[in-house]
Amino acid sequence: MISRWITLVACVALLGSVGCVGSDPSFATVEGIVTVDGQPAQGLEVTFEPESGRPAIGFTDDQGHYELQYTASQEGASLGKYRVRIDVPSGSEAKVRIPIRYNAKTELNAEVLPGRNELNFEVTTKR
C-alpha cells in the first residue's frame, strides 16, 4: 500500500513539473494577424529581433494568424522591444512579395509586455 502511495505522489509531482514548462514570467505570449494589402497572408515568417539575444519566430497560417515561439519548449517572446521582420521563408510556396521595408530594412517595431500580446501587422505593397 505504501509503495502505491509513493508512486502516486511521484506521478503527481512529475505531471506538475511538466505543466510548468514555459511558465517563465520574463516571457509573454505573442500572436496576431498579418495581412498583405488587406488580405490574410499565408506562409509568411514573422521574426521578432531583440537588440541582443535570441529572436522569436512564428509562421502565418491560411488566416494570416501567427504565434511566436522562442524555443521548442518556450512559447512567446521575452519581454522588451523588438524590430519586426516579415518575409517569405526560403523554399516557401507563398505567392506574395513582401517589400524590403518589412524585412531586411524593416520599419516595424513592437514591444512585448507581460501577459498576452496581440500584435497585428498590415503590409502594403504600394507606398
Judge whether 67 and 75 are in contact, CB under 8 Å.
yes
- When comparing pLDDT for 93 and 73, which is higher? 73
Q: Where are the domains of the chain?
A: 25-123
Single pTM value for the model: 0.80
102: number of Cβ within 10 Å: 21
Which pLDDT score, from 0 to 100, does residue 126 have?
A: 86
pLDDT in tens, 10-69: 443 443 333 333 468 899 999 999 999 999 999 999 999 999 999 999 999 999 999 999
Q: Candidates 3.10.20.30, 2.60.40.10, 3.10.20.340, 3.40.50.300; correct CATH number of 25-123?
A: 2.60.40.10
Which residue do the cell numbers 512559447 mark? 75
Residues 6 or more apart from 54 whose CB is under 8 A from it? 70, 71
Q: What's at 63, amino acid-wise?
A: Q
